[in-house]
Amino acid sequence: MDALRTHDSVSVAELAAEHGVSEMTIRRDLDELAQQGVVRRVRGGALSLLLRGEEPPFGVREREAAEAKRLIGAEVAALIADGEAVVLDGGTTALEVARALHDRRLTVLPLALQSVALLATAPRVRLVLPGGEVRHGELNVMGPLTETSLRALRFDTAVIGCCGLSAEHGLTAHDLPEVAVKQAAIAAARRVIVACDSGKFTRTAFGAVCPISRLDVVVTDPGIPREEREALVAAGVTVRVAAG
């Protein structure tokens, strides 16, 4: 996936040599990505089907930096006190936050059906659902009904995911309706926690959500670039690094 973000095509032989694995392993990986609609297989490699800057499917992203996301989810959960009202964004890292919150006593409004399904079995979570349209593939909720639901409520904490984060461009996301939902969630919360793996600091997505000055806490992994961490701290953002 990293290779496809910077190149329009990839070679089986080059990827196998770069990562020290067999060409058969690379072919299997490319076949799986082809089934997800990310690439088109060609002789000796594959061509990217993603538009420039487009995010890969949820199922692909869920396996990227999986352990880092699990640790980030646990760290975010540790920042939330029992009894809080929380709006929980969609995305793969936010899903790990939902797993870490499962046994807590909270009011939670999830913005993705994956988290809704997970928290529906949580015995002490008061689960509140927004209205809205479901985004195909991602299963996030979005649109005017979602935004209206968020404007009618007030939360102690918003846990927000992102497609990109930097001092220069702030918090960014690929999908424009999702940008509007994130903005509404942030506006409705007393505190904003961003949960993202360090790979997001090398990317800037199409839609601008907010500047870093609007954030209270960023929870990430040890791979965060030093200059980005320093810029966040200088802007008054608390940076917490989740490590095993």
Q: How many CB atoms lie within 10 A of CB 37?
A: 13
- pLDDT in single tens digits along all 244 residues of the chain: 778 766 778 899 999 999 999 999 999 999 888 877 778 888 998 887 666 555 666 566 656 668 899 999 999 999 999 999 999 999 999 999 999 999 999 999 999 999 999 999 999 999 999 999 999 878 999 999 999 999 999 999 999 999 999 999 999 998 899 999 999 999 999 999 999 999 899 888 889 999 999 999 999 999 999 999 999 999 999 999 998 7
Q: What is the CATH number of domain 1-52?
A: 1.10.10
Q: Hey, where are the domains in the chain?
A: 1-52, 62-241
- The CATH number assigned to the domain with range 62-241 reads 3.40.50.1360
Asked if 88 and 98 touch (Cβ cutoff 8 Å), the reply is yes
Give the largest CA-CA distance in the chain: 57
Alpha helices in 12-129 (DSSP H): 12-19, 23-35, 58-61, 66-78, 92-101, 113-119
